[in-house]
Amino acid sequence: MTALDHTHAASARSWLVSAQEAGGDFPIQNLPLAVLRRRASQSTMHGATAIGDQALNLAQLAATGLLQGPAQAACKACAGPALNEFMALGPEAWRALRHGLFALLAEGAPASVQAQVRECLMPLGEAEYGLPAQIGDYTDFYTSIHHAVNVGRLIFPDKPLTDNFQWLPIAYHGRASSLRVGQEGFGFHRPMGQAMPAGAKAPVYSACARLDFELEMGFFIGPGNTLGEPIALAQAERHILGMVLLNDWSARDHQFWEMAPLGPFLGKNFCTTISPWIVTMDALAPYRVPFDRPASDPRPLPYLDDALHRASGGVDVRLEALLDTPAHRSQGQTPSRLAATSFRHQYWTPAQMLAQHTVGGCNLQPGDLIGTGTVSGPTAHEAGALVELSLGGRQPVTLANTGEQRAFLHDGDTVILRGWCEKPGHARIGFGECRGTVLPARG
């Protein structure tokens, strides 16, 4: 686990005034990474870090020579249209860049340095984002016991949890080609597929009638592992650069019909969105929490358990999902909150997911994306999907700001995911937003 240092100090300030804005996501203690360019330009995508309301162009910064040694080498690895090369460098290089950027942006940096850095800044409002890496593989886990119980009760009310859930992190192999950045203006078409209506004797082919979101997080793999060589739990976080928000859009009617006996396919592969900014594990260090289980639950097997992980394996990321409907927009209303919870409630941690993924010898590569599965908490308002919130569609959710009801998503609905960390004695840091709008089916 990352030790705290001067870059985490709550008293640290940037010479860029907007970095101190109350409630902002990107103070100097954060320094997340993304790939972007100026909107509507023909320029090449490049790596960037966020500070206040600005994006710092890392390709342009590398050309200034302000950074030296490992920090400069790491900055150069971020200059291209994907961060795979930087991800492969590992935690020492990641930390060198973080410390180098911090020194350039901190209050008290020489005026000449500030002037050169200002030339590399662009307002975040003018950014167009690309995927932060060339994502070779995407795996989505299923690691919230609250989500598993809530959904399991809809199908198997007497036995909602599968026998293996409390013994290992469960996952399925997702579709990397349909991953997109959930930025302002992004939309996807309601999928077509096959479903079995209640009481019917034969399935029907139609547009999805039970379209859902899933409030998740994801994490990017840094250095990979050789085929046949598992990554031990104690080493797992050396292979994780950082985390993003993730929405695993789900066609529930298609999913529930097709997933016996093999699992999700068309119900999941039409679109998955992530937030543009990767918040590094270094930045998340102050918000680590113990990995804990009820005493009555089975303890993980030894390869998924150790003392250090029990002490600080979890991460307290506060999460919320909001819905912005056409009625919200026409009435000038702000989006209605659907759910709010914390990633600390997850039954399995990112390190355990990574150790489980590789225990059989599966080789991961820099830039691979791992989804955590839906994040749901122990109370009703913490459910991270409409299938839970509406009890499978039987009790539609009433939207606070318009009075509309939703059992599942309608065309024109925009789902907004947000995430942030805060606690006394430390600066608030955030993930920005992950957005997506449902467009009508094409079929």
Q: What angle do CA 387, 390, 394 make, to 5 degrees?
A: 105
Inter-axis angle of helices 69-77 and 91-105, nearest 10: 100
At position 213, the amino acid (one-letter code) is: F
Which residue(s) pair with 207 in the sheet? 192
What the block records as the tokens of 174 is 């997702």
Q: Quick check: 191 and 212 in contact, CB under 8 A?
A: no
DSSP states of 256-317: HHH-TTT--STTTTT-EEE-SPBEETTTTGGGEE-----TTSPPPPGGG--HHHHHH-EE--
End-to-end Cα spacing for the chain = 49
Q: What angle do CA 439, 408, 187 make, to 5 degrees?
A: 20
Identify which of 111, 7, 29, 2 has the alpha carbon closest to the alpha carbon of residue 351: 2
List active site positions.
147
- Residue identified by tokens 């390709």 is 59
Three-state SS for 436?
strand
> How remote is the C-alpha of 225 from its chain's centroid?
22
At position 421, the amino acid (one-letter code) is: C
Contacts (Cβ under 8 Å, ≥6 apart) of 8: 29, 285, 286, 426, 427
CA distances from 101 to 92, 95, 122 (A): 14, 10, 16
Tell me 374's DSSP state.
-
Backbone φ and ψ for 51, nearest 5 degrees, come out as -140, 115
Contacts (Cβ under 8 Å, ≥6 apart) of 242: 32, 33, 219, 220, 278, 279, 280, 281, 282, 283, 284
